[in-house]
Each structure stands twice: as structure tokens, then as C-alpha cells.
Structure 1
Amino acid sequence: MQSTSRSKWLILVICMCLLGFSNGRELKDRHKSRHILYNHTLATILVEYASAVYLSDLTELFTWTCSRCDGWTKGFEIIELVVDIQHCLQGFVGVAKNLNAIVIAFRGTQETSIQNWIEDLFWKQLDAHYPDMPDAMVHRGFYSAYHNTTIRSAIIDAVERAKEVYGDIGIMVTGHSMGGAIAAFCGLDLALKYNSQNVQVMTFGQPRVGNAAFASYYSKIVPNTIRVTNGHDMVPHLPPYYYYFPQKTYHHFPREVWLHNIGFGSLVYTIETICDGSGEDPNCSRSVSGNSISDHLTYYGVEMGCDESSSCRIVMDPRLLGYSNRDSTGNLILSRDPAAPLLKLNTEFDNQGKPVKL
């Protein structure tokens, strides 16, 4: 009995020491860094936006009445919702008054295709030069998803309209998985347009998007960036990083915050390690094997993924057609005036008739 009691106390002491070491390292990293400080509360807010953007019911999303549109994000005002059917992309722009910021979120890879997408990333090579940066190379697919689709023009337009009404408030860009990669290119684009002090990027489970030259360039332009990784999430390990080809391989930009568990038995704690400024800290997520899809699909206890299994299928109430604009390829933009009253569809109307399937 006495031996069991001593064992429990020993485990507790070990856990406390590990926590103390982690917290001490966090303060040290913060002191040395010129990057934005990691804010746990902000992360738990932005992860809810990164989750909500996956939803296929455009009515609930545009009116911000979905089950995921609650909690920390309650009262968010959508300004623009863009669905690029042609490339299976989705994103939104709105204003979060509790953050005093414009929030932009991008959807990640659909769950039905995530396995094929991950397999493809294992073999993906750097294949596109970043404009005006001769040594910087990026993933062509991620770059094109933002720059060569309907996404960019819709996002820029919505941000401009929001600033006309709300003034020079901050911009926060987020996304999960592939949505995090698109968010990075969007954040870089907006930082060049509105300056880095006004733009903040926080992504979850983001893959690598470029080489070391691009990572260095990115971190100078968008220093207010946090990449959150979780446990053994396999996506942040992709495309692969080869330490013996540092200039030729994919390379993460800083700063990573790694969520992982420590402890033994029932005494397990999740800690948040703030990693070094290299982008490839060997003591963070790179210290473990990236072999988990489940770690990729949950961040801070929030489900990250689509609500329907069918790829790129969306649902919309007929009453929203007056707010929509569709191009010749079927891509859809739902837009509202930021200065106008919030759109509200009452429950009685929502339960009448059948929604439009697109």
C-alpha cells in the first residue's frame, strides 16, 4: 500500500517537472522571439472558425446559425462566402467584434479524399517559383488554390468592403489542413497589401508549402504567424523534409506550437510547446512519427472536417439566391453589405419546402 502511494507521488513529481520544463522553455522562447506571442484563448477561438468553414449548409453558415457557429464565435457577421465548385474550395470573410478583427477562414481537404491527398503529398516536389523571389519555390497546387481560382478576388473584395465600414482593424487568417496552406498564401498576399502589423495568420495541421528560401521570405513579411500541430498528425510532416538537402527540400516557416501529451497512466496532460524560430524544430512535431489521421481531425477538442461525406455538395435555402452570384462554371459567391442589418431567416421559413441542392 505504501509502495503504491509512493509510486503515485513519484509519477506526480515527474509530471510536474515535465510541465515546469515545458513552461520554462515557453517563456524563454517567447523572450527571444520577435514573433507574435502564442495566445491559447485566441487559438481556441480561431480553431472554431477553421472548423465551421467545412460546413456544406450555406444557409446556416451565411446566417451564422450552424451548430459550430456558437461558443467563442457567437455573433460573428459573415460578409462573403465563396464556394469554388470547380476546384472544391470554400472560404469566408466576416467580422468578429469580440476580436475587433476581420476573420478569414479556408476549408481543408474533404475527408473522402484525405487519404489519396496525403499519399500524393508524399511524392510532391517543389514545382513553382514564387514571383519576384528567384530562390523561393512553392507547392504549385496550394499556390494556385489561392491565386488562380475565384477565391482570391472574392476575399480581397470582401476585406476592402469590411475596412470601408469598420476602419483599419486587424485581419486574422485561419484554416486547417490544405485550408491552412491556402491561409498562408492569403496572409502573405494581405500582409504585402496592408502591412504585416495588421495581418495575423494561425493555421492548424498545415502541410509544408515551400522551400527554405520561401519560409525565410514569408516569416519576414508575416511575422505574426502561428502553426499549430497536434500529436502525431501526419499532415505537418508532408511534403517530406530532408535535412541533408536543406535548400532543395520543403521547409516549414515559423512559428510552430506543438500540442502533445505527457505523463503516465491516468496522469496525462496536454501541453503546448512553443518551438524555436527555425520552422523545423527537431524537438517539436518532428520529434515523433507523423502517422495519425485522427490527430489531424481534432484540434483543441474541436472536430475538423465536413458534415457530409459527399465531396463538394452544398445545400442552400432559396431565400439566399438574392445574395448570390454564380459564374459560368458554377462557382458561387454569397455576399452582403457589411453596413446592412444581419440576414435572419426565421425557423418557420427554414422548415418550409425543400432546400436547393447544388
Structure 2
Amino acid sequence: MERQTCLILVIFTCLIASFCGRELQVKHNHKVAVYNHTLATILVEYASAVYVSDLTELFTWTCERCNGLTKGFEVIELVVDIENCLQAFVGVAKDLNAVVISFRGTQESSIQNWIEDLYWKQLDLHYPGMPDAMVHYGFYSAYHNTTIRHGILHAVKEAREFYGDLNIMVTGHSMGGAMASFCALDLTVNHEAKNVQVMTFGQPRIGNAAFASYYAKLVPNTIRVTNDHDIVPHLPPYYTYFPQKTYHHFPREVWLYNLGLGSMVYRVEKVCDGSGEDPTCSRSVRGNSVIDHLSYYGVDLKCQEWRSCRIVMDPRVSEYGKTDLKGNFILSRAPATSVLKTNTLSNGEEVKASA
């Protein structure tokens, strides 16, 4: 009897040890992304501009958010998935010598519901060609199974055929950051792009540790910027005691936070370790702030006004557009060609997407 009891205890101890083991470490090669503050302040403006709902101003790059460090950007293609309330653009930034791709995040009007939903998400899709790698179906599908992917790939091809072998920079905020990551992986794995760089802002976790390891190896030039107590980088939740089943960030994180008190407050930009889950970075604080999620480097990452997935477009830009049977459309032009320039709408039309 004693022997049987001891055997049960040993088995129970082994089971506990297997569940409560150390956190899985992300395997990555020796290439690591180098954080560049100046580049971050440029790319965050592209991540902000994609929230503009006036498609005429965005397509012609005359919007208020198109006037700072991104001035002179040439939009090649603007993709709008009305059905799923998604938006992205591709263009050429000559000062960066790069094709820039930017994805819009979740509309702030629905962000609270989206955050609550993420608390219950499970890993639910095996990533193709990556044994044991699992990802979030919703984020994967938003890029792979909508109008977005086809439009992005077509525009990248057009830009690089005209301008040559430019670098590719992919950015996005919130859910847009998740889509940017899947896009960068797609370009690298399926389209043999060699010079893809990623910088996202307030991105959620999108896969497990196995996926994070593959991603770190294939797209090493990736920076995830997180801001202070931003709630979204903490989602879906990380469960230390279930390392095989939990979501896991890929590297490299740069954590922005304030140090000091009163008038003596300094902004710190901490480059974190290569694990993707550095316990001294954003995981060291409670992720409980939506406000910290909506502004990075002093730049608003949200729509200028609440429109519940509505967009506005001047009928005069329709000559640049193609629409499918579901109402999704792409505005595109050949690289280096002139395009309508206007700062005011004439008989503007409003289109409502599904919320």
C-alpha cells in the first residue's frame, strides 16, 4: 500500500513539474533588430495616417497626418475591406529608400469589446509549414483571408518592379501590428523578400512559443514598441504555468515608460532582451490602460472622429478604384504617376462598413 501511495505521489509530482516548468525560451539566430528612435518616430506617423477615414486625402497624401515626417510619401495602393472594417496602404518613401506598408488597428469605438474578447481567445490554427506553431485565427484570417493580402502583394510587386529592389518596412498599431507581422512573414516565406523590416506599436500576442521561434528566425529585423501600461501587448494573456499552450511574444520589444516624479520625469526607451517576454519590460507592470494604447511618441493612433467604420471618398477618385461584389475596393495608381490633388471634398460620399 505504501509503495502504491509513493508511486502515485511520484507520478503526481512529475505531472505538476511538467505543467509548472520554466517558461519556454524563444530560439533565435544571432541577428537581432537594432532599435532606431528616429525611424520609430517616422513609422509611427505612417501607423497613424492609416486611421484617416477620408480616403481622398489619404490616397493623395494631403491629410493633416500626412504633413510631418512622412511628407512626400507616394501612395501606390489603398486597400479597404468594407466587409471586415480593415484598411491598409502601400507606397514608396524615397527618403527611407523603402516600400512602406501600414495596417490600421481596431477602431476605438469597438476597442473595449475587442479587448474583452481577447481575454478568452485560444490558440486555434496551425501555421502552415511550421510544426507545433499555432496562431490566433482572427489575426491570421484578417490578413490572409480578406481583400487585404492580394492588394498588398500586388502593390509591393508594382513598386519594386518600377523602383528596383527597395527595402520593405511594415508597420501597424494594435490589430494592425498583428496583421503587419503576418504580412512580413508572408513576404519572407512565400515571396522570397530578403530585406523586410517590421516595427509595430501596441501589438497583441499572435502565436505560441514555437511560432515566435520560427518568426524570430525568419524575420529577425522586427521591433515591437510597447507603451507604459498599454493593455493590448498583455493580450491574449500569458500563462506561465502552461508554456506549451500559451501565447508568446516574439522579440524584440522596446518598452517606453516614464521614470521620475513630478516635474522630474524622463521618458525611457528600454531595449528588452531577446526572449520576447522580458520580465523587466512591459510584463513588469499591469497592462490596464487603454489611454496608453492610443498614443505612442505623442502621436495619436486612432481615428480623428468616431465613425463606426465609416469612410468618406470623393467621387472623383473612383477612376482609380476597383470594387468587388462585396463592396470591398482598392484605389491604385501606377508608380510615379500624378494623381488628383485636393484638400476639400466635392459632393463627398460616405460609405458604411460593417461594425
- TM-score (normalizing by structure 2): 0.89
2:340 aligned partner: 344
Unaligned runs of 5+ in 2: 1-28
Bigger fraction of residues in helix: 1
Aligned pairs for 1:96-107 within 5 A: 96-107=93-104
| Offset, 1:193 | 4.1
Is the 1:196–1:223 contact (alpha carbons within 8 Å) kept by the matching residues of 2?
Answer: no
2:160 aligned partner: 163
1:42 aligns with 2:39: yes
1:301 aligns with 2:298: yes
2:347 aligned partner: 354
1:285 aligns with 2:278: no
272, 276, 292: which is aligned to 1:275?
Answer: 272
Structure-1 separation of matches of 2:161 and 2:301: 32
1:143 aligned partner: 140
1:81 aligned partner: 78
1:313 aligns with 2:306: no
Is the 1:253–1:279 contact (alpha carbons within 8 Å) kept by the matching residues of 2?
Answer: yes
Q: Give the AA of the match of 1:345.
A: K
Structure-2 separation of matches of 1:339 and 1:73: 17
Match of 2:72, SS?
coil
Structure-1 separation of matches of 2:45 and 2:30: 27
| Offset, 1:318 | 1.1
Structure-2 separation of matches of 1:45 and 1:260: 19
What percent identity do the matched residue pairs reach? 72
1:326 aligned partner: 323
| Offset, 1:246 | 1.3
1:27 aligned partner: none
Structure-2 separation of matches of 1:279 and 1:36: 12
Q: Give the AA of the match of 2:120.
A: W
Aligned pairs for 1:209-248 within 5 A: 209-248=206-245
| Offset, 1:133 | 1.5
Query: How many residue pairs get matched?
Result: 323
| Offset, 1:245 | 1.3
Structure-2 separation of matches of 1:278 and 1:346: 47
Runs of 4+ in 1 over 2 A off after TM superposition: 193-197, 344-347
- TM-score (normalizing by structure 1): 0.88
1:265 aligns with 2:262: yes
Q: Give the AA of the match of 2:326.
A: T
Return closer, same or farther for 1:267/1:195 CA change in 2, 3 Å cut-off. Answer: farther
Match of 2:64, SS?
coil
Aligned pairs for 1:116-135 within 5 A: 116-135=113-132
1:91 aligned partner: 88
Is the 2:252–2:272 contact (alpha carbons within 8 Å) kept by the matching residues of 1?
Answer: yes
Match of 2:292, SS?
coil
Is the 1:196–1:224 contact (alpha carbons within 8 Å) kept by the matching residues of 2?
Answer: no
Q: Give the AA of the match of 1:357.
A: E
Is the 1:259–1:271 contact (alpha carbons within 8 Å) kept by the matching residues of 2?
Answer: yes
Structure-2 separation of matches of 1:78 and 1:219: 29
Is the 1:137–1:211 contact (alpha carbons within 8 Å) kept by the matching residues of 2?
Answer: yes
1:10 aligned partner: none
Is the 1:197–1:224 contact (alpha carbons within 8 Å) kept by the matching residues of 2?
Answer: no
1:254 aligns with 2:247: no
49, 53, 58: which is aligned to 1:52?
Answer: 49
